[in-house]
Structure 1
């Protein structure tokens, strides 16, 4: 035997309620915006009806059925104009308060008002015609114009139909026509509610998909930024990697040549770094490299570029810096490294470095490769002369 599907239906309804709670504020904001746009249009259309029925009423003899019909519609459309103006004003007033109870209820209130006005129109029309088309149009139009949650919308249409059932009997006295109109009124309300549910579910689905898409886009952007960071930075020290440093240095040298300024490059290589790895282990060596990167970054200016070329070799680009100023900064950094051993567990690892320096003026127009080669030669001399020095 097949088991009943009631549990599945219950889970579906629970999921729908949870989804509806996520989009209710967005629906309220959309309803208020639509009221601000549709309100003036409805006011103008009803004003045209007022003018037409006023002219017709003035031309008709008082006391007959046609005159009563025209006067009744004149009063109904006048009331509709006043009500629409009030709803539009409230929508403007609540445009930033769509999360409030009033903001969330405004769409339902406006829908109820329009449907009651439609009932008034068809009730007056019963004096001359059994047609209830305005009520059908209103039921469908409200569902199209306002996003209404299914349960409140159901109670709205039930209440509206009860008013319709009573009001239509005040002006339509033919039993057959009255029964037909009341049955057609049920159809109009059911169609309006069904359309409302369909549009609400479509709105909910699209809104949740847009939210998920925005979240996925934000995550993608975050990952893209992280990927860009990883492609530009050295994974261990956080400094610029070799490719990024070379690219930025070339741009800086071109700028320096245009502005006529001097640029200096520092190469520093840690002394006897292999001993650190052999004695303390590679994790300790990594800690030493991070320590050197931190000292170098905090010693130079914010406009200077610090990079790691690879292994235990670092490079610093000093814009607007002469050779002598670069030598002083290199000496300062050398002394800081010598005087600040790298902490590792409960010990401290002594660190020294050899520095090679090269400088170029704008007139010399030397490129990065030339400057790097000269600094590398100076670094080699520093190693030959005993290490822990600037050449």
Structure 2
């Protein structure tokens, strides 16, 4: 039995049938997405190169005559022969390895920790003016250091370690109080910020009282600690800070998408999309407290880095925390390293503390952000 032949379709019906529109919008969106990814990659590469150049300049600038050519001649002799540069002598090597490189490494790790912590803090509070010190950790750490300086009575060889541990413990105590009190009201962003501000004023008042009763030897030590300085950098301190950063950063990276939702859509929309807002905010807040306390206990108070670095990163690459976190870390490292180098070289032989130099940059930018927010409302 033969199969019936299929009748050809009517050309009129075939022409009247709607055709699929060309994928113009999809192609444009795809090109825009890939162009944005390439631009972000270029920004990251540029930030890494800027950090390397800043670190090289920080190693070379100072009283000792250390140049990039002499560094290459020391570690790569064939290149030194091509550049006709003399290698470093023993004293200059000690200056590089024991003084300048630890200072550079501490600036990089401290800046990265504060930059990342500021980005996370702004995300979980929904406040672009938030920083790692919003919850009062800086004044709490300063109080811990002041208590040891005034009443410690430790031997000289234990004084520095006791000061670091006391500052770290007081910072964690402050964080526990802030998140404990805020959890009674649901751990909302407003409660978190207001509680941190209240405790910040409390610890500041107690710290001022400590300075008031301090004698002539104790008062300069307390005040110097609050300025923030990298003078006493050591490889042991850098290792401790790096361990905290390595432990906490994966937590931040794993919550990047949740932070995107919380920062852009608010708590209710993020919860509707499956984010456990309360647990996420608590986990990220504990991570910020640990990382910030580890930095502040070794360096003192370096303000505005946690506020400035996230805004610089956000203005350049946008608000996606998957790329914003590493870029904020790079911006924080560059900012702290550049400020420390300027403070060390500009007024030589006097060294200006890095916390003061950073404030010269942070305050104008902070005022600009306030004015920009005001202009956006009008």
- For the criterion TM > 0.5, the same-fold answer is no
> Of Structure 1 and Structure 2, which has the larger fraction of its residues in strand?
1
TM-score by length of 2: 0.24
> Of Structure 1 and Structure 2, which has the larger fraction of its residues in helix?
2
* Relative contact order higher in (CA < 8 Å, ≥ 6 apart): 2
Select the structure of larger CA radius of gyration. 1
TM-score by length of 1: 0.24
